[in-house]
Amino acid sequence: MPPASLFRATSFRLALSYLGIFTVSAMALLALVSWSTSMFIEWQVQETVEAEASGLSEQFRERGLVGLTELVGERSRQDIERRTVYLLADGEGRRIAGNLFGWPSAAENPGWARFVIERMGEGRLVTEVLGRTYELAGGARLLVGRSLADARRVKSAINRALGWGLALTVLLGIVGGYVTSRHMVQRVESMSRTATRIVGGDMGSRMRISEAHDEFDSLADSFNEMMDEIQRLVEGIRTVTDNIAHDLRTPLNRLRSRIDLTLLGAGDTESYRRALEETLADADNLLATFNAILTIASVESGQRLHHFEPCPLDRLLGDVAELYEPLAEEKGIALSWQAEPGLSIEGDRHLLFQALANLTDNAVKYTPAAGTVALTLATGAEGIELAVADSGPGIPAEARGKVLERFVRLDSTRSTPGNGLGLSLVQAVARLHGAGLRLEDNAPGLRVRMVFPV
Ligand SMILES: Nc1ncnc2c1ncn2[C@@H]1O[C@H](COP(=O)(O)OP(=O)(O)OP(=O)(O)O)[C@@H](O)[C@H]1O
Ligand SMILES: [Mg+2]
C-alpha cells in the first residue's frame, strides 16, 4: 500500500486529530504544572527569607545595631554556598556588614524585589535574587535575599522532563496512528479487492474473516451472508430460466410438428379442425403455465400485500371441496371435509383459494381410485391449521423439499399431466401470509399442512 494513500486514510487523519487535541491539552497541563512549580518554589524562597529576617530582627531588638552587625557578618561568613544575600547599611546608605558590596538599585524601597547581582562575598557570582528590604529603627536598612539559581535549576529540570514526555507521547501517537490505520486500511482494501473480484464475475469469492471477531469481521460476515443469498437467488433464477426454456420447448415443438404434419397430410377440413383444436388446447396449456409463473413471481415479490382482507377459512374450504367433489367422484375417490366454524385470517382470498385448490388438485390427481382425500380446518397448538390429506403414493421424505421448487415433478408421476408449479405457488402464498408449510407422511399418502400462527 503506497504511504500516500495511508496518510489520506480516514483512520490516520482521525488518529492525527486526536493526537492534536491530546497534544494541546498536554501542553496546557504542562504549562500549568510548570507555573505552579515555580509559584511553589518562589513561595518557599520567600518563606526562607522571612524566617531568616525574623531571626535577624530578633537580634536587633535584643542587642541593637551592634548585635545585628555581628550576626549579619557571622551569617555572611557561614553562607559558604553563597545562597543567601545579606546587606546591612546605615542611614546614609553606607555598608555596615553583609556579603553584598553595593545596594541593588531595584531593592531601594522597603518590600520584595527581584534583582541580579554580579558579586557576592569573596568571589564573582552572577545570579538572580529574590530579596526583601527592611527599614530598621534609627534609619538603618537590612536586605535579606536568596538566590533563585536552585529554583531555576529545579524548574528547568521539571520542564525538560515534561517536554521529553510530550515529545515521546507525540511520537508514540504518530507511530500508533500509523500502525492502527495501516491495519484498518489493509482490512478495507482486502474487502474492496473481494468486492472487485465479485464484480468481475467471481461470484464465489468471499471476504476473509479473522480470528479477532471485530467489527470488520461482523461486516465481512454480513457481506458473505448477503453474497450467499444473492448467489442462491441468482442460481435459482438461472435454474428457473433453464426450466422454463426446457419445459416450454417440449409443448412448442409438439405444437409445431403437429402443424407441420397436418400441412403435409391429406388436407381435409376435418383433419384441419382436429389439428386446430389440439393446437388451441396446447396454446391454452402454455398460457396457463405462463400465468402460473407470473402469479408465483408476483406473490413472491410481495406486491399483493395490499389485497389483504378478512378471509373466513371455513367458507373457503367448503368452496374448494365443492369444486373438486365432481372430479373426485368421477375417479372413485371419497372426498371429505371438516371445518371448525368461525376461523378467519387476514389474507388474500383469491390466493388462499388458489393454494388450497392446488393442494386438493394434487391429492385428487395423484390418489388412485378408491382412495380418500380429506380437507380439514382446525385450531392446533401452533395456530390455525389448514390440511389436505390423501391416501395416495405420498412423497418420499427426501423429495419433500425439492417438490416445492418450480417445475419439479417426481418421476413416478410423470404420466399425469402437470407443470410442477402447483406446490411452488402454495409455498409462495404460505410465505406471503406468514404461514408454515409442512409436507408429512399420512401413512399411507401425503398430508400437507398450512399453519397460520395467531
Ligand atoms: N398429493 C400428492 N401425492 C403424491 N405426489 C404428489 C402430491 N402432490 C404433489 N406431488 C408430487 O409433487 C410434484 C409437484 O407438485 P406440483 O403440484 O408442484 O406440480 P404438478 O402437480 O406436477 O403440476 P401442476 O400443479 O403445476 O399442474 C408432483 O409432480 C408430484 O410428483
Ligand atoms: Mg399440482
A 10 A CB-CB count for 210 gives: 11
Query: Is 110's pLDDT higher than 70?
Result: yes
Structure confidence at residue 158 (pLDDT)? 86
How much helix, strand and coil, in percent to the nearest 5, is found in the chain?
Answer: 60, 20, 20
Residue nearest to atom 7 of ligand 1 (CA): 362
| 376 CA from centroid of ligand 2 (Å) | 19
Ligand approaching nearest to the C-alpha of 448? 1
Q: How far apart are CA 20 and CA 40, in angstroms?
A: 30
* pLDDT 10s digits, 431-454: 999 999 999 999 999 999 999 998
Residues within a 6 A CB radius of ligand 1: 358, 362-363, 366, 390, 392-395, 403, 408-410, 413, 418-424, 446
Q: Which long-range contacts (CB under 8 A, 24 or more apart) does 193-202 make?
A: 198/227
Structure confidence at residue 339 (pLDDT)? 96
Q: By percentage, how much of the chain surpasses pLDDT 90?
A: 46
Ligand approaching nearest to the C-alpha of 364? 1
Ligand approaching nearest to the C-alpha of 393? 1
* pLDDT 10s digits, 263-310: 888 778 888 898 899 999 989 988 988 888 888 888 887 776 678 899
- Mean pLDDT computed over 121-143: 84
Which residue stretches of 211-308 are H helix?
Answer: 215-264, 269-300
Q: Same fold for the domain at 3-155 and the one at 303-452?
A: no
Mutate to test the pocket of ligand 1, among 409, 419, 429, 447 (most ligand atoms within 8 A of CB): 409
Q: How far apart are CA 343 and CA 357, in angstroms?
A: 18
Structure confidence at residue 117 (pLDDT)? 85
Q: How far apart are CA 416 and CA 267, in angstroms?
A: 32
Structure confidence at residue 89 (pLDDT)? 92
Q: How far apart are CA 108 and CA 100, in angstroms?
A: 14
Query: Is 332's pLDDT higher than 80?
Result: yes
Mutate to test the pocket of ligand 1, among 421, 423, 438 (most ligand atoms within 8 A of CB): 423
Query: Is 149's pLDDT higher than 80?
Result: yes
Q: 360, 324 in Cβ contact below 8 A?
A: yes
| 425 CA from centroid of ligand 2 (Å) | 10
- 212-248: burial string, b at 16+ Cβ within 10 Å, e else: eeeebbeebeebbeebeeeeeeeeeeeebeebeeebe
| 420 CA from centroid of ligand 2 (Å) | 6
Instruction: Pull the grid cell for residue 158.
Output: 521539571
Residue nearest to atom 25 of ligand 1 (CA): 422
Ligand approaching nearest to the C-alpha of 292? 1
| 242 CA from centroid of ligand 1 (Å) | 20
Residue 368: DSSP 8-state: P
Query: Is 346's pLDDT higher than 90?
Result: yes
- Average pLDDT over the chain reads 89
| 424 CA from centroid of ligand 2 (Å) | 9
- Mean pLDDT computed over 351-367: 96
Q: Where are the domains of the chain?
A: 3-155, 215-300, 303-452
* Atom of ligand 1 at shortest range from CA of 410: 31
Kindly write down the DSSP assignment for every residue of 194-215, as one continuous string. HHHHHHTT-TT------TT--H
Q: Which residue has the cell 397430410?
A: 265
Q: How far apart are CA 170 and CA 239, in angstroms?
A: 60
> The domain 303-452: what is its CATH number?
3.30.565.10
- Amino acid at the residue 84: T
Going by pLDDT thresholds of 50, 70 and 90, the confidence category of residue 344 is very high
* pLDDT 10s digits, 303-324: 766 788 999 999 999 999 999 9
Structure confidence at residue 122 (pLDDT)? 64
Mutate to test the pocket of ligand 1, among 362, 405, 408 (most ligand atoms within 8 A of CB): 362
Going by pLDDT thresholds of 50, 70 and 90, the confidence category of residue 11 is confident
Going by pLDDT thresholds of 50, 70 and 90, the confidence category of residue 23 is confident
> The domain 215-300: what is its CATH number?
1.10.287.130
| 358 CA from centroid of ligand 1 (Å) | 9
pTM for the predicted model, two decimal places: 0.57
Residue 132: C-alpha distances to residues 84, 125, 157, 397, 442 (Å): 12, 19, 27, 107, 113
Q: What's the start-to-end Cα distance of the chain, in Å? A: 57
Q: Which residue has the cell 427426501?
A: 398
| 366 CA from centroid of ligand 2 (Å) | 9
Q: How far apart are CA 258 and CA 278, in angstroms?
A: 9
* pLDDT 10s digits, 55-65: 999 989 999 98
3-155 under CATH 3.30.450, yes or no: yes
Residue nearest to atom 3 of ligand 1 (CA): 394
pLDDT: which is higher, 132 or 233? 132
Ligand approaching nearest to the C-alpha of 426? 1
Q: 131, 85 in Cβ contact below 8 A?
A: yes
Q: 148, 127 in Cβ contact below 8 A?
A: yes
